[in-house]
A and B are shown apart, each in its own frame.
Chain A
Amino acid sequence: EAGVAQSPRYKIIEKRQSVAFWCNPISGHATLYWYQQILGQGPKLLIQFQNNGVVDDSQLPKDRFSAERLKGVDSTLKIQPAKLEDSAVYLCASRKLRGRTENEQFFGPGTRLTVL
């Protein structure tokens, strides 16, 4: 089966510009996650969707970050306006079932964002 797809793979922007990332999860996976991975650190969860509803966005900086999953399949994460500290790899992951902690999350290749 196809894995989690993300695009673009790389993006360079200047501060105060806007940027959007796209993710297409594995077919049939109801749960979708966006993570931010700053260089030298582990991934940090930004937002979690169950189908097209938000389950957890407690660590999403809502003044500049937004995300949607309108039809319960693919998802878009947007940053507007970007700051220097947003430079990171943005990872998308998907999972088959909610509420069963043993089910693994499958990760996409990530989008590396550089803010100048």
Chain B
Amino acid sequence: GDSVTQMEGPVTLSEEAFLTINCTYTATGYPSLFWYVQYPGEGLQLLLKATKADDKGSNKGFEATYRKETTSFHLEKGSVQVSDSAVYFCAPNTGANSKLTFGKGITLSVRP
């Protein structure tokens, strides 16, 4: 079945630092790729997505590029803020039933 490998967390950064969160996946077919975010006390929400190879998803200063050759979808942000503190989940979406497979998630804490 499909699977996701996310880098081990938690990650603690100072405000304005550069962020990279690695994600690699195995999936049948040609998945769409998603990053979801879970802010403290809130539900999961879509951060960004990419639907085909070499597409770049972006939102709120975050970016991720669909790399089919390396089956990766790494999340980056040039300058993190305290408000970016949250849990981030990488998830490919595959199959006729459009099934999301989530990684373990990684907790990001940003210090002022």
Chain B, residue nearest A108 (CB): B43
Q: Known interface pairs A104-B46, A108-B43. Does A42 touch B103 (Cβ–Cβ under 8 Å)?
A: yes
Q: Interface size for chain A: under 10, 10 to 19, 20 to 34, or 35 or more residues? A: 20 to 34
Q: State whether the Cβ of B98 lies closer than 8 Å to any Cβ in chain A.
A: yes
Query: Which listed residue (A41, A43, A98) contacts B98, Cβ 8 A?
Result: A98
Asked whether B98 lies within 8 Å of A100 as measured between CB atoms, the reply is: yes
CA distance A38 to B96 in the complex (A): 26
Contact with B along A92-114 (1 / 0, CB 8 A): 01010011111111111110000
Chain B, residue nearest A6 (CB): B43
Asked whether A101 lies within 8 Å of B104 as measured between CB atoms, the reply is: no
Asked whether B104 lies within 8 Å of A55 as measured between CB atoms, the reply is: no
Q: Which residues 57-116 of A have a CB within 8 angstroms of B? A: 91, 93, 95, 98-110
Q: State whether the Cβ of A24 lies closer than 8 Å to any Cβ in chain B.
A: no
Asked whether A42 lies within 8 Å of B104 as measured between CB atoms, the reply is: yes
CA distance A108 to B102 in the complex (A): 16
The residues of B that contact A55 with a CB separation of less than 8 Å are 97
Q: Interface size for chain B: under 10, 10 to 19, 20 to 34, or 35 or more residues? A: 20 to 34
Asked whether B104 lies within 8 Å of A109 as measured between CB atoms, the reply is: no
Q: State whether the Cβ of B51 lies closer than 8 Å to any Cβ in chain A.
A: yes
Q: State whether the Cβ of A44 lies closer than 8 Å to any Cβ in chain B.
A: yes
CA distance A56 to B1 in the complex (A): 14
CA distance A23 to B29 in the complex (A): 31
Asked whether B44 lies within 8 Å of A107 as measured between CB atoms, the reply is: yes
Q: Which residues 91-105 of B have a CB within 8 angstroms of A? A: 91, 93-100, 102-105
The residues of B that contact A103 with a CB separation of less than 8 Å are 98
* 27 A-B residue pairs with CB within 8 Å: A40-B105, A42-B89, A42-B103, A43-B44, A43-B89, A43-B100, A43-B102, A44-B102, A45-B100, A55-B97, A56-B99, A91-B44, A95-B98, A98-B96, A98-B97, A99-B98, A101-B31, A101-B93, A101-B94, A101-B98, A102-B51, A104-B34, A105-B46, A105-B100, A107-B36, A109-B42, A110-B43
